[in-house]
């Protein structure tokens, strides 16, 4: 999944979780959160350099927090997030609201990486005309 899709999926999940936490019936929209859970689980088990950089900034936004941390810690936290998303209905409202904030942060970080990818994509040409 590219970062743009991950960003959109995370923001959709945040909206659904907000509705769910506030008792608003959204029908079968819970599948959005389930899909995000599956994507985060997949990402946590299939490490890549591109995802590692994005996830590092998602898990620990402040570079000072990176000291003494291993990349495996990032992927463990992402895997735990996947599990939390899968079982969000079992959590109290406070934890559900924490998941909303996490989804919004994930959406923001993923969208920034998509933006930078488009700016620095060396394979694209601008088709300059002389």
**pLDDT tens per residue, range 49-73:** 888 888 888 888 777 776 778 888 9
Residue 130 in domain = no
Tokens encoding 121: 């994509």
Distances (CA, A) of 23 to 19, 37, 66, 72: 6, 21, 38, 37
pLDDT at 4: 58
In a domain, 108, yes or no: yes
pLDDT tens for the chain, 130 residues long, are: 555 589 999 999 999 999 999 988 877 767 899 999 999 999 999 988 888 888 888 888 777 776 778 888 999 999 999 999 999 999 999 999 999 999 999 999 998 876 444 434 444 444 444 4
User: 2, exposed or middle or buried, with CB in 10 Å at 0-12, 13-18, 19+?
Assistant: exposed
Is residue 70 in some structural domain? yes
Q: What is the extent of the structural domain holding 55?
A: 3-119
Does residue 127 lie in a domain region? no
Question: How many CB atoms neighbour CB 92 within 10 A?
Answer: 9
Please check whether residue 54 lies inside any domain of the structure: yes
Does an H or E element contain 74, and which? helix 71-86
How high is the pLDDT of residue 5? 87
Q: Is residue 15 part of a domain?
A: yes
Tell if the pTM clears 0.75, that is, is over it: yes
* Number of domains comprising the chain: 1
For residue 128, the model assigns a pLDDT of: 42
């Amino acid at each position: 999944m590219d970062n743009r899709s991950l960003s959109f999926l995370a923001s959709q999940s945040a909206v659904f979780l907000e509705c769910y936490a506030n008792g608003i019936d959204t029908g079968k929209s819970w599948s959005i959160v389930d899909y995000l859970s599956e994507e985060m689980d997949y990402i946590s088990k299939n490490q890549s350099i591109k995802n590692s950089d994005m996830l590092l900034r998602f898990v620990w936004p402040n570079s000072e927090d990176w000291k003494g941390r291993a990349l495996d810690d990032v992927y463990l936290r992402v895997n735990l997030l996947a599990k939390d998303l899968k079982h969000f209905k079992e959590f109290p409202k406070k934890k559900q609201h924490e998941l909303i904030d996490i989804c919004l942060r994930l959406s923001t970080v993923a969208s920034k990486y998509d933006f930078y990818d488009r700016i620095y994509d060396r394979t694209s040409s601008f088709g300059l005309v002389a």
